[in-house]
Structure 1
Amino acid sequence: MENLGYEVQIFRLNSATMGVPQARERIFFIARKEKLKLPQLILNFNESPIYFGAIADRNSTTHAPLRPSIEKRRPFVEYGDQNLKFADARYRNLNTHNAFFSTYILYDNTVP
């Protein structure tokens, strides 16, 4: 980009610092034509994180109940597990973790 006459800035931004109840880190490349002499961008986001416990609707009557396969594994969840793959292995008494890896566990003190 610089060889083509652009000035490039690279930012690593996380939506959790922008007042969004989500932790999602992304890389942004900002390119400006050098001949325009535009100022450098300053991107400082310092919002407090929004934790799951602050947005969870504990009295919802519209959410579907847990699927039976998940309900069976729920007693095997240990605090800190990020998804159900470890609970599934404990439930099935296995050392492999090849199922339920996309079923995330949210804790009140984490950013979703």
Structure 2
Amino acid sequence: MFRLNSATMGVPQARERIFFIGRKKSLKLPDLKLEFNKPPVSFGAIADRNSTSHPPLRPSIEKRRPFVEYGDQNLKFADARYRNLTTYNAFFSTYILYDDTVP
């Protein structure tokens, strides 16, 4: 059994996965060593700043964008600041990517 994180494999995502590998003992294969030490690929390294193919932000998101604070994981916090509330009940399914984080 191996727990691997794609961020250490040169892939621009941070996802841990468990791999189970079964082998016949009669084959007498050497032990597997799955160790990856590639540096993480951040969002800033892959972002296309000059893209013209993306649609504009929806008006509801555009209004809340100025209320995003660094470290917010999604727009629910910006929404609460926008509405001057302390409860979070909207935009929970969004994900905010920062240049220095692995998507």
Q: Same fold (TM over 0.5)?
A: yes
Query: What's the counterpart of residue 59 of structure 2?
Result: 68
How many corresponding residue pairs?
Answer: 103
Q: CA deviation at 1:88?
A: 1.0
Q: CA deviation at 1:18?
A: 0.7
Instruction: Give the structure with higher Rg (CA).
Output: 1
Query: What's the counterpart of residue 92 of structure 1?
Result: 83
Are 1:54 and 2:45 counterparts? yes
Q: What CA distance in whole angstroms lies between the structure 1 residues aligned with 2:90 and 2:30?
A: 50
Q: CA deviation at 1:23?
A: 1.0
Q: What CA distance in whole angstroms lies between the structure 1 residues aligned with 2:29 and 2:90?
A: 51
Aligned pair partner of 1:102 in 93, 96, 102? 93
Which string of whole-angstrom CA distances, capped at 9 and with x for unpartnered residues, describes residues 12-31 of structure 1? 11111111111111111112
Relative contact order higher in (CA < 8 Å, ≥ 6 apart): 2
Gaps spanning 5+ residues in structure 1: where?
1-9
Aligned counterparts, 1:14-53, within 5 A: 14-53=5-44
> Considering only aligned residues, what root-mean-square deviation do their CA atoms show, in Å?
1.2
Q: What CA distance in whole angstroms lies between the structure 1 residues aligned with 2:81 and 2:30?
A: 56
Gaps spanning 5+ residues in structure 2: where?
none
Which string of whole-angstrom CA distances, capped at 9 and with x for unpartnered residues, describes residues 92-112 of structure 1? 222222211111111110111
Q: What CA distance in whole angstroms lies between the structure 2 residues aligned with 1:98 and 1:42?
A: 45
The structure in which a higher percent of residues are strand is 1
Structure 2 counterpart SS, 1:82: coil
> Percent same amino acid at aligned positions?
84
